[in-house]
Structure 1
Amino acid sequence: MKIKFWGVRGSIASPGPSTVRYGGNTTCIEIRTDRNELIIIDAGTGIFPLSQSLLGELPVTANVLITHSHWDHIQGLPFFVPNFIPGNTLRLHGAFDPVSGKGIEQVMSVQLQYSYFPVREAEMKARIEYVTLAPDQSIQIGSAKITPCLMNHPVVDFGYRIEADGKSMFFTGDHEPPLNIYEPSDPDYAEYQSFIDEKTANIMRAMSGVDVLIADCSYTTAEYSSKKGWGHGTFHSSINYAKQAKVKTLFCTHHEPTRSDDALEQAFAQVLQEHPRLAGDPDYRLAREGETFEF
């Protein structure tokens, strides 16, 4: 299995001299199975350069897994170049939205309104298909088994476990470890805690034993205190997940858009001091735009 990072910034694209090393594009990850089947997780601005790289292997069938419908994870879809070329297929997978009452098709239909984009969906030359997924219900994409897991974010948000040819990975998408919203003295505390415990256990099962965990590490522990409820994790929380799940490699991603490359490396160095790597611990890495990892 091969992973390539095309976008690793969170919230908003942040190009410029201070983000050259790790990249300024928002979330997009390319996965290739050993049979070269193409799976893409999220369609942030990073999907545009990815789509240009695909022009040398047309026609393509691109299976895109959307974690959730926030802009930084879908805004590159209208610029996915194969959509404009006959013979290609874009198969978009994602969650049903209980607020709108629509499936994953709405992430295209909303963006491709004339008010926002000059080309309507009906004018796209590629075949576009939609697959609405359910939590914990696996599907097969070629040789790969894909299992969505409900994560914790201020919208329906899937993490994805991908298994193929004896290899496995898990991407959290945007995720904040669930917390009890009640005080221990509150009569609803115990009931809500049982819900939290069940959700946490399900997430741990989903990422257990994977070769690669790619996790939301938006904040430092100090930053998190003022950002609770925003739906994002910390370096600390993701390292704890990686240790408990006994994964082999952790990639920290969704880099805070205001954090320069230098500041990102400084924050990561501090985290590694606080979590010295012991025998059997995962390998900890910062996700970098353009980097390929094969395992």
Structure 2
Amino acid sequence: MKIRFWGVRGSIASPGPSTVRYGGNTTCIEIRTDNNELIILDAGTGIFPLSQTLLAELPVTANVFISHSHWDHIQGLPFFIPNFIPGNTLRLHGAFDPVSGKGVEQVMAVQLQYSYFPVREAEMKARMEYVTLKPEQSLQIGSATVTPFLMNHPVIDFGYRIEANGKSVFFTGDHEPPLNIYEPGDESYDEYQGFIDEKAHSILRAMHGVDVLIADSSYTEAEYPAKKGWGHGTFNSSMAYAKAAGAKMLFCTHHEPTRSDDALEAAFRQVLLDNPPLPGGPEVRLAREGETYEF
């Protein structure tokens, strides 16, 4: 299985000299099975450079799995070049939105309103297909089994476990470890804590034993108190997940857009000092735009 990172920044694209080493594009990850089946996780601005490489292998069937519908995870879709070429298929997978009452087709429909984009869906030449997913109901993409799991973010958000030929990856999407919204001693605290514990156990079960964990690691522990409830994890929370799940490799991603590459590396060095590696792993890396990892 091969993983390639095309976008690793969170919230907003942040190109420029201070982000050139790790990249400024927002979330997009290319997964290739050993049979070369193409799975794309999220469609941030990184999907545009990915799509340029796909022109060498037309016709393309691209199975795109959207973690959630916030802009930084979908805004590249209208610029996915194979959409404009006959013979290609874009198969978009994602969650039902209980607010709008619509499925994943809304992700394209909203962006392609004529007020915001000059080309309507009806004018695109590729075949568009929409698959609205349900939590923990697996889907087969060739040799790969893809299973969505409900994560914790201020919108319906799926993490995805991908398994093929005995290899596995888990991508959290945007995720903040569940926390109790009540104070200890509040009459609702214990009941809600039971819900939190069950949710945390479910997420760990979804990650269990993966070869590669790709996790939202937006903040440092010092930054987190001011960001609590925003739906993002920390370096420490991602490392805790990787250790508890027995993951072999952890990629920390969704880098804070205001953090320069130098600052990102400094924060990561401190995290590694605070969390010395354990015998047997996991190995921990910062996700880097353009990096390929094969296992």
TM-score bracket for the superposition, by shorter chain length:
over 0.9
> Per-residue displacement from partner, 1:29-71 (whole Å, max 9, x unpaired)?
0000000000000000000000000000000000000000000
1:242 partner amino acid: A
**TM-score, normalization by structure 2:** 1.00
2:286 partner amino acid: L
Q: Which residue number corresponds to residue 60 of structure 1?
A: 60
2:81 partner amino acid: V
1:24 aligns with 2:20: no
Counterparts of residues 1-295 of structure 1 (less than 5 Å): 1-295=1-295
Report the CA distance between 1:248 and its aligned residue. 0.2
1:251 partner amino acid: F
CA distance, structure 2, for counterparts of residue 180 and residue 281 of structure 1: 30
List 4+ stretches of structure 1 deviating above 6 A: none
Report the CA distance between 1:190 and its aligned residue. 1.0
Report the CA distance between 1:131 and its aligned residue. 0.2
CA distance, structure 1, for counterparts of residue 258 and residue 278 of structure 2: 31
> Per-residue displacement from partner, 1:87-111 (whole Å, max 9, x unpaired)?
0000000000000000000000000
CA distance, structure 2, for counterparts of residue 229 and residue 133 of structure 1: 25
2:44 partner amino acid: G
CA distance, structure 2, for counterparts of residue 17 and residue 101 of structure 1: 42
1:130 partner amino acid: Y
CA distance, structure 2, for counterparts of residue 280 and residue 63 of structure 1: 34
Give percent identity, aligned residues only: 82
> Per-residue displacement from partner, 1:166-211 (whole Å, max 9, x unpaired)?
0000000000000000111111111111111111111001000000
**TM-score, normalization by structure 1:** 1.00
SS at match of 1:226: helix
SS at match of 1:225: helix
CA distance, structure 1, for counterparts of residue 103 and residue 195 of structure 2: 26
SS at match of 2:56: helix
1:26 partner amino acid: T
SS at match of 2:227: coil
CA distance, structure 2, for counterparts of residue 224 and residue 132 of structure 1: 33
More displaced stretch, 274-283 vs 248-257: 274-283
CA distance, structure 1, for counterparts of residue 278 and residue 213 of structure 2: 18
2:158 partner amino acid: F
CA distance, structure 2, for counterparts of residue 129 and residue 158 of structure 1: 19
Report the CA distance between 1:281 and its aligned residue. 2.2
CA distance, structure 1, for counterparts of residue 136 and residue 43 of structure 2: 22
CA distance, structure 1, for counterparts of residue 230 and residue 186 of structure 2: 23
SS at match of 2:223: helix
CA distance, structure 2, for counterparts of residue 45 and residue 110 of structure 1: 17
CA distance, structure 2, for counterparts of residue 225 and residue 194 of structure 1: 23
Q: What is the aligned residue count?
A: 295
Q: Which runs of 5+ in 1 are unaligned?
A: none
CA distance, structure 2, for counterparts of residue 194 and residue 241 of structure 1: 19
CA distance, structure 2, for counterparts of residue 197 and residue 139 of structure 1: 27
Report the CA distance between 1:280 and its aligned residue. 1.6
